[in-house]
Amino acid sequence: MERLDRLADSVEDPVHAFSSHLPENLLVGTAGWSVPRTSRDHFPAEGSQLERYASVFRAVEINSSFHRPHQASTYERWADSVPEYFRFSVKVPKAITHTNRLTDFDEVLSRFLSEIDGLRDKLGCILVQIPPSLEFDQEVAEKFLAELSRRVTCAVVLEPRHKTWFAINCTKMLISLGVSRVAADPAVVPAAMEPGGSPRAVYFRLHGSPQKYYSPYTEAYLDGLAFRLRKYAQTTSRIWCMFDNTIKGEAASNALYLDRRVALEEMGAGR
């Protein structure tokens, strides 16, 4: 009970130790590592933004790779800035997913993979986000995802945003390729609210609701999510939960609350 009370205090008291209290296979974080002003008291005052962020969370999603390439040396510097246990999820460039729509990808994919190789063993996941207008074409999707999966050792997760990607033949394809499907909010169809595909990784991607990228999640929603994540964390999968409602800094506060809520429930259950 004393440990539980101590952790309960830490939800409200930012002077407690800056660290995650989650199960080792559960990674909660945000898209990008900016420390917003509204949550800065929960992070150390010294160090770079990434160093401060990595003192609290154990994973982050790199979205800037979607818009522009980074040098391998930049990824190396980021990897050297975080603890050994920290992991990065990196988003595939839009040149592949949105411009070429999963075709003619060889050159861009090779460049992207050579760049992110700078993360070394801290590369935990590659995120493929499909544009809302792109319908499922099994031949096109399978060619790209098979090639990507063949060339990396980390998990590959897919965030489709057209209803055709939730058909049973697509799910079977993902399982056969070892690719996981993101559980997204807001969801394009009810099935999009739950993880799918390969169980190698379970990946929640939360964009904010009702206004995407802006709105915070309520405590009631986060309490329910904490319960779901604890259940998934009892498996051998690595569980990711990334908040993308970053425009007003809500992602960090939601992630902090969720981290503490899961930890409180774990400790209350005597784990």
**pLDDT digit string, tens, across residues 29-72:** 999 999 999 999 999 999 999 999 999 999 999 999 999 999 99
Asked if residue 81 lies in contact with residue 54, where contact means CB atoms within 8 angstroms, the answer is yes
- Asked whether residue 75 carries a pLDDT value surpassing 70, the answer given is yes
Q: What is the distance between the alpha carbons of residues 144 and 103, in angstroms, rounded to a whole number?
A: 7
State the virtual CA torsion across 9, 12, 15, 17 in degrees, nearest 10.
60
In this prediction, residues 145-165 reach a mean pLDDT of 98
Q: What percent of the chain has pLDDT over 70?
A: 92
Per-domain boundaries in the chain? 2-268
- Asked whether residue 112 carries a pLDDT value surpassing 50, the answer given is yes
- Gyration radius of the chain's alpha carbons: 18
In this prediction, residues 6-33 reach a mean pLDDT of 71
Other Cβ atoms less than 10 A from the Cβ of 42: the count is: 23
Helix (H, G, I), strand (E, B) or coil at 90: strand
Q: What percent of the chain has pLDDT over 90?
A: 87
Under the banding of pLDDT at 50, 70 and 90, the label for residue 3 is very low
Closest CA to 252 of 21, 56, 48, 22: 56
Average pLDDT, the chain: 92
What's the CATH number of domain 2-268, 3.30.870.10, 3.40.50.300, 3.40.190.10, 3.20.20.410? 3.20.20.410
pTM of the shown model: 0.92
> In what order do the strands lie in the sheet containing 26-30?
26-30, 238-243, 201-206, 183-185
Helix (H, G, I), strand (E, B) or coil at 198: coil
Residues 6 or more apart whose Cβ sits within 8 Å of residue 256: 39, 42, 56
